[in-house]
């Protein structure tokens, strides 16, 4: 019966022939299966990360040799300019993997256990203070990245919302942990859905919000007035340029006077009209004609 082992990347149990041999691991094979390796390693950075996760040595000289070898071959072929770089990296990585077992313990050896001890000693205090103890540096960075995505991607205007976002991040980390150890995640996913509902960021709720955004302008104004009405301004800012008084007196007031309607501004209209009204004196106070003639002479 063929030996099997579980891929730490996809969590599937596979025959040992689906893993690359690796003398640095007690199992004698890489932790990742060949399929996961090929889909993940698409650049030199990903190759280094793969070596780190699988406790392998990485040789810069071998990768440079691979680039030079593949580049020489590609130059003899009519490769389109836009496809050249992709072909160069892809084939160089394949060349590297075909020779990597020849590295042995040369180059830089990555040990996941050593890295964890090293990382734990350099965990920033502010991260531990925010998220608590019991997390590795990688997990704290995961929590911080997810938290940043939530608070920048959604409106957050209350401490309660911040707490919910923190719990969402912790639940996401628990789900990641469970999947890495090939454990069921049904209950954790249900908890995440409940948190999303409480935070009003569940996809169904977002769809409802998006439908409102596509409503008519009048519906949007009504929605905004109900949710975030504009507060009344201070008295000193209610009519800074006097346009409100001007319209009330000379438009509404005058129209009310013409139609004999009391619109609440008739008094203001009368007061303003008085400023421009010339009152004719009573008959007793009128000057005599001869006095007027004398003044004219």
Note whether 164 and 199 are within 8 A (CB).
yes
Residue with tokens 């810069």: 60
Give the CA count within 13 Å in the CB-facing half-sphere of 73: 12
Structure confidence by residue, pLDDT tens digits, 207-222 = 555 554 556 677 778 7
Domain parsing of the chain, residue ranges: 4-110, 124-199, 241-275
Q: How confident is residue 286, by pLDDT bands cut at 50, 70 and 90?
A: low
Structure confidence by residue, pLDDT tens digits, 70-79 = 888 887 777 7
Alpha helical stretches, state H, 3-78: 34-40, 44-53, 60-75
Burial class (CB in 10 A: 0-12, 13-18, 19+), 195: buried
Within 8 A by CB and 6+ apart from 213, the residues are 220
Pairwise CA distance, residues 191 & 172, whole Å? 10
Q: What is the pTM of this model?
A: 0.36
What is the pLDDT at residue 282?
Answer: 65
What is the pLDDT at residue 82?
Answer: 65
The answer on pLDDT for 91 being more than 80 is: yes
Mean pLDDT rounded to a whole number for the chain: 77
Structure confidence by residue, pLDDT tens digits, 236-263 = 777 778 888 888 888 888 888 888 887 6
Which of 59, 44, 46 minimizes the C-alpha distance to 9? 46
The answer on pLDDT for 41 being more than 80 is: yes
């Amino acid at each position: 019966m063929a030996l099997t082992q579980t891929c730490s990347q996809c969590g599937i149990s596979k025959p040992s022939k689906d893993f690359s041999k690796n003398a640095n691991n007690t199992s004698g094979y890489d932790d990742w299966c060949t399929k996961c390796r090929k889909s993940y390693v698409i650049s030199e950075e990903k190759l280094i990360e793969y070596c780190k996760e699988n406790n392998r040595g990485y040789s810069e000289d071998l990768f440079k040799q691979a680039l030079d070898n593949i580049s020489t071959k590609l130059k003899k072929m009519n490769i389109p300019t836009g496809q050249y770089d992709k072909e160069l990296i892809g084939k160089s990585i394949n060349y590297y993997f075909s020779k990597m077992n020849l590295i042995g313990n040369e180059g830089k050896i990555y040990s996941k256990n050593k890295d964890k001890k090293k990382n734990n000693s350099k965990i920033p205090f502010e991260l531990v203070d925010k998220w608590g103890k019991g997390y590795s540096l990688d997990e704290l960075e995961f929590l911080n990245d997810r938290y940043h995505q939530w608070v920048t991607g959604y409106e957050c205007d209350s401490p309660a919302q911040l707490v919910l976002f923190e719990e969402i991040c912790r639940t996401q980390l628990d789900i990641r942990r469970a999947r890495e150890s090939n454990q069921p995640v049904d209950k954790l996913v249900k908890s995440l859905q409940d948190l999303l509902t409480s935070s009003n960021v569940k996809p169904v709720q977002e769809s409802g919000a998006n439908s409102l955004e596509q409503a008519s302008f009048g519906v949007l104004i009504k929605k905004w007035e109900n949710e975030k009405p504009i507060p009344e301004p201070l008295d000193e800012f209610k009519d800074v340029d006097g346009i409100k008084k001007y319209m009330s007196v000379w438009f509404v007031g005058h129209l009310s006077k013409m139609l004999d309607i009391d619109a609440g501004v008739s008094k203001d209209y009368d007061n303003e009209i008085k400023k421009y009204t010339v009152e004719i004196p009573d008959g007793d106070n009128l000057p005599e004609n001869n006095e007027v003639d004398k003044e004219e002479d």
